[in-house]
Amino acid sequence: MKSLLNEYRLKRPDIRKRLAEFRQVYKRSDKDIFAELCFCIFTPQAKAVLCDSAIKRLKAEDLLLKGTSSDIRPCLSGVRFPNNKARYLIEAREIFKNGKALDIKNKIDLKDLQKTRDWLIKHVKGMGYKEASHFLRNIGLGRDMAILDRHVLKNLKRYGVIKKIPDVLSRKEYLKIEKKMKDFFKRLNIPMEEVDLLFWSRETGMIFK
């Protein structure tokens, strides 16, 4: 545990700098927030840097708000299941569309982010608890939510927070592990929103998103 705390203290300034950048995202346009939502939809079974590159290509081609599936698909190089994820993007676009613009902030209840997370999971195809939590964290919200990807689960097992990595994460199991994770890192005085960046940097060598 001592090595974990030492690693955290070493990386904490860079982690907090990254989180400060995330908090600026919510102040930007709905289009920028939608781009983060799409990034999180792309991430299952794909590397975050490749998903980020895909988003940049979509922005450069001006396809986030008006591209068809056949337009979007070539931009998703490196993203797993690109046909499905192109379709998820288009369906998400329809959910948040307000005329020719997007209105995503009105779907975010700042007073009840748990409710917002559940709403996203229910209405946005391709979003589970991990993706919805990731999205909220990446726009500077959801600070007490766990992003339970393989890197995080691997390290939770390593430190005895969980006994084994579950094959499937049901809602009940996700929330159960999230609570255990909160309790564990509260004792170590490491904020929840910083944990995944700490573990991701350990596994990937970078503090990304």
Domain CATH number, residue 187: 1.10.1670.10
Number of domains in the chain: 2
Boundary residue ending a domain (77, 107, 137): 107
42 and 79 in contact (C-beta within 8 Å)? yes
pTM reported for the whole predicted model: 0.94
39 with 19, same domain: the answer is: no
67 with 46, same domain: the answer is: yes
| Nearest residue to 22 (alpha-carbon basis) of 123, 202, 147, 120 | 147
181 and 145 in contact (C-beta within 8 Å)? no
**From 71, 122, 149, 164, active-site residue:** 149
Distance between CA atoms of residues 56 and 109, nearest Å: 28
Task: Please indicate whether residue 103 is annotated as part of the active site.
Answer: no
Average pLDDT over residues 111-115: 96
**From 14, 31, 100, 130, active-site residue:** 130
162 with 195, same domain: the answer is: yes
33 with 68, same domain: the answer is: yes
88 with 54, same domain: the answer is: yes
How confident is the model at residue 159, as a pLDDT? 95
Distance between CA atoms of residues 24 and 8, nearest Å: 23
Report the DSSP pairing between strands 101-102 and 97-98: antiparallel
* Tally of CB atoms within 10 A around 154: 13
Block residue for tokens 């975050």: 48
Range of the domain at 93: 27-107
Average pLDDT over residues 124-145: 96
- Tell whether 118 is covered by a domain: no
Residues with Cβ within 8 Å of 113's Cβ and at least 6 positions away in sequence, in order, are: 136, 141, 142, 145
18 with 49, same domain: the answer is: no
Distance between CA atoms of residues 164 and 126, nearest Å: 25
- Tell whether 48 is covered by a domain: yes
37 with 91, same domain: the answer is: yes
Block residue for tokens 């309790």: 183
Boundary residue ending a domain (54, 88, 107): 107
Cα within 13 Å of Cα(124), Cβ side:
30
- Tell whether 55 is covered by a domain: yes
How confident is the model at residue 38, as a pLDDT? 98
- 4 Cα distance to chain centroid: 23
Distance between CA atoms of residues 66 and 64, nearest Å: 6
- Tell whether 127 is covered by a domain: no
How confident is the model at residue 178, as a pLDDT? 97
- Tell whether 31 is covered by a domain: yes
Q: How confident is the model at residue 206 (pLDDT cuts 50, 70, 90)?
A: confident
* Tally of CB atoms within 10 A around 140: 17
62 with 80, same domain: the answer is: yes
Task: Please indicate whether residue 149 is annotated as part of the active site.
Answer: yes
- Tell whether 171 is covered by a domain: yes
pLDDT tens, position by position, 178-194: 999 999 999 999 999 99
| Nearest residue to 203 (alpha-carbon basis) of 144, 143, 156, 154 | 154
- Tell whether 8 is covered by a domain: yes
